[in-house]
Amino acid sequence: MLQELSIQNFAIIDDLSIAFQKGFTVLTGETGAGKSIIINAVNLILGSRASPELIRTSEETAELEALFDVPPENPAAKVAVTHGFDLSEGLLVRRVIQRNGRHRIYINGRLATVQMLSQINEHLASISGQHAHQGLLKAEQHLLVLDQFGGLNELRGRVSACYEQMLPLISEQAGLKSQHLEQTEHRELLEFQCHEIQQARIVHDEDKELEQERQRLKHARQLYETLSRCVDQLYGEEGAAVEHVTEVARELQALGGIDASLSPVAERVQEVSFQLEDITNDLRGYLQQIVFDSDRLETVELRLDLLQKLERKYGGSLESVLAHGKEAEEELKRISFLPERIAEVEEQLDQLYNKLCKLCRELSDKRRKAAQQLSAKVQHELASLGMPGTRFEVRIKPGPVDQSADPHLLLDNRVIEATGIDRVDFLIAPNVGEDLRPLAQVASGGELSRIILALKAILATKESVETLIFDEVDAGIGGGVAEVVGQKLHSLARFHQVICITHLPQIAQFGKQHFKIAKGIHKGRTRTTITPLYKEDRVKEMARMLGGVKITKKTVDHAREMMARRDD
């Protein structure tokens, strides 16, 4: 239930607060006073899109705030709990609209998103205005209404869940079959690639080691001659480097007897002579390993050529060649198991299809029974709303069949969708003797208003929405019909909080709570005000609605009589 609504700097409203009660509340006022602005504010609270154009002129921000009392059993409470909100003290929604476009939403003081707000508020309130009239003309809305009336939402949800389980399997089955058709040629390619890579017996970093070996084999003579000369110069020939360094070390050691500080230097030189001997030994060992083998060089070059061809073919490095080989092996395994996987998927699909068919048939049968009951009830309600003789039919028909559709999405030559196998149309013949025709082709604005009200009255005990807001429900009606509409709204308020914007006193007289919305000039600015009406003030407003600009005693007496008749 909507308990309080606060609006600041929104359109022509500077600061306005309304406290709502249970039951039937009416809002009245002159055309253009700002009644539709209040509806827009509630729409924003429920999650509609915000725009900086809605901010009052010369202001930088507009703020909207609403407090709802949410029973624990309401779906909105369950959704809020999943988002971490505690609604034990109510649900406080605040929206801040800024000219720079950086709008903010707060739920119970915590920042939230539009998506989160819409999910929670979906079951808090519904607004039946021009938008609702347009929505009623859409066939998909007809199916929703029928399922809600028949208490079929749970069964419909099971159909949808089973349908959603099937879709990925159908997609997988199509992909597997496509792969199976192409697998012969592809399998040959994969087998060739696996064989080619496996036969090469590649070792990690093999190409780098082979390249080093190739360089050694290719330049073996140069290596041998140069290193031999280096060994001789270091150690082998007369006057070699080692002899000179050793002599220097002896002379420095002798001088160490004169100056002790030269002894460490002599030792370092001696170490150099030892290092030269070690280096000479290493070089001699290297010389012994030098191979003059043209056959081995040819073998290495052929191996490198093979590895380079594989690298160019499969990605530019030995790592990529090995990775490609592994991927080819895995894909080859998958292809090898394709027939088995196709059989598994088909078995799962068949099981789900049988389950879905059973659910769809059950849902369709229950819809047909509910359609007959809803048709009769709507006709009865419309007769009480001043449309006697109107025929109304809820017609169930199959959806169009796509011949290319997967067989698992067809049942009895009808297409299966997430909502089942049925499409629903609301047909109406407002005048006796006319044929039934789709609602969108026949119904006027006033008739649509009454059809919406009839449906709301029928669904009153089934809807989870706590607050129903009616805007333009009095479009195209008046007189006795308007009074019947008022009675219907009053009756509907036994199950829901009902808020109605109306221009007709015949409807306004039934309100338990009555607000007058007015537009005036304050300090050179236009602003909207809202005033709760009681007793005589309410009679005066009813008289204005009855008599227009000039209110006579007779008009006031008529208004008082209407209020008295309503109280009886």
pLDDT band at residue 163 under the 50/70/90 scheme: very high
Domain termination residue (choose one: 303, 336, 369) = 336
Check residue 355 and give its pLDDT.
Answer: 96
pTM across the whole model: 0.63
The residue out of 318, 336, 354 marking a domain boundary is: 336
Last residue of a domain, one of 315, 336, 357: 336
Reported as a pLDDT band with limits 50, 70 and 90, residue 400 is confident
34 vs 279 pLDDT, higher one: 279
Residues 199, 311, single domain; the answer is: yes
Residue 16 lies in a domain: yes
Asked if the model's pLDDT at residue 277 lies above 70, the reply is: yes
Confidence of residue 132 (pLDDT cuts 50, 70, 90): low
Same domain for 312 and 187, yes or no, is yes
Distance of alpha carbon 435 from alpha carbon 442, whole angstroms = 10
Of the segments 90-94, 138-142, 467-471, which one has the largest average pLDDT value? 90-94
**Tokens in use for 558?**
């008529």
| 256 is a domain residue | yes
- pLDDT tens, position by position, 462-476: 766 778 888 867 776
Query: Is there a single domain that holds both residue 79 and residue 210?
Result: no
Percentage above 90 pLDDT, the chain: 27
CA contacts within 13 A on the Cβ side of 77: 15
pLDDT in tens, 6-42: 999 998 888 889 999 999 999 998 877 777 788 888 8
Average pLDDT over residues 209-234: 84
CA distances from 427 to 40, 281, 341, 510, 540 (A): 31, 107, 48, 31, 42
Question: How many other C-beta atoms can be found within 10 angstroms of the C-beta atom of residue 182?
Answer: 11
Q: What is the mean pLDDT of residues 330-336?
A: 79
| End-to-end Cα distance, the chain | 27
Measured CA to CA, the distance from residue 348 to residue 457 in angstroms comes to 44
Looking at the structure of the chain, the number of domains it has is 2
Q: What is the pLDDT of residues 319-328, one digit of tens each?
A: 888 888 888 8
Percent of the chain with pLDDT over 70: 95
112 plus 195 within the same structural domain: no
346, part of any domain? no
Average pLDDT in the 315-322 region? 86
CATH number assigned to the domain comprising residue 114: 3.40.50.300
**In which domain, by residue range, is 327 found?**
183-336
- Residues 452, 141 contacting (CB under 8 angstroms): no
Tell me if 226 is assigned to some domain: yes
So what's the pLDDT on residue 445?
65
Is the pLDDT score of 443 beyond 70? no
